[in-house]
Amino acid sequence: MFFHLRYAVSYRDLEEIMAERGVEIDHATLNRWVVKYAPLLAQRAREKKRSGGSSWRMDETYIKVKGKWTYFYRAIDKSGQPLEFMRSERRDGATAKKFFRRAIASNGVPEKVVIDKSGSNLMELKWANVMLQFSRSNSLIKILQVKYLRLRDCNLLLNRSGFHSRRRRARSLK
């Protein structure tokens, strides 16, 4: 199951790999294992993940997935490590709130967040600051808005961290 989650390998390829090692297993069984254990592995990985940096860049973009256009929210730290990502049908305040809740829950409260001029993102970060004040936290999130948060800069940071290139390398080995 690790190979399927880590590399671009099909269930039938894994079936052949296991047969070479003397283990007879059906590709449908591998599929059931992935469906059953992948959420548990993801939860364990989130628990062991190092906390994000103190400065985040957050953006959303419009991407096509299986022929359908959706919004893709993502947050990265200043060194380019991916912190959180989420796909959504809508780009509104409720979606931004859900995204920021997930990002803060899994990475802690950042000192600074750089966002574009999106009103929903600004509103939800201000909401997060209000909630931090009510919880009597000494740390508030500094919000920096950039008129055009260049996706290219975020992509360069992600590529520098190897986030996308690992997947490309795995596909090229096929």
Q: Give me the tens of pLDDT residue by residue for the chain, a chain 174 residues long.
A: 565 566 778 888 888 888 999 989 898 988 898 889 888 888 887 677 666 668 888 888 888 888 889 988 888 888 778 888 888 888 888 888 888 888 888 888 888 888 887 777 788 888 887 888 788 777 788 888 887 665 555 555 555 555 444 444 444 444
* pTM for this prediction: 0.58
Same domain, 28 and 98: no
Q: What pLDDT does 166 receive?
A: 46
Tokens of 33: 């294992």
Domain membership flag for residue 172: no
Same domain, 9 and 68: no
Domain membership flag for residue 65: yes
- Distance of alpha carbon 83 from alpha carbon 172, whole angstroms: 26
Contact 90, 35 (CB under 8 A): no
Same domain, 105 and 64: yes
Residue 112: give its domain's CATH number.
3.30.420.10
Domain membership flag for residue 171: no
Last residue of a domain, which of 48, 64, 83? 48
Contact 6, 14 (CB under 8 A): no
Pairing of the two strands 68-77 and 55-65: antiparallel
Question: Which residues have a Cβ under 8 Å from the Cβ of 59 and sit 6 or more positions away?
Answer: 73, 74, 115, 116, 149, 151, 154
Q: What pLDDT does 156 receive?
A: 54
Domain membership flag for residue 77: yes
Domain membership flag for residue 173: no
Domain membership flag for residue 87: yes
Same domain, 121 and 153: yes
- Distance of alpha carbon 19 from alpha carbon 115, whole angstroms: 50
Contact 144, 115 (CB under 8 A): yes
Same domain, 28 and 60: no
Q: What pLDDT does 155 receive?
A: 57
Q: What pLDDT does 151 receive?
A: 53
Domain membership flag for residue 25: yes
Domain count, the chain: 2
Domain residues for 65?
55-166
Same domain, 43 and 68: no
Domain membership flag for residue 155: yes
Q: What pLDDT does 149 receive?
A: 62
CA terminus-to-terminus distance, the chain? 17
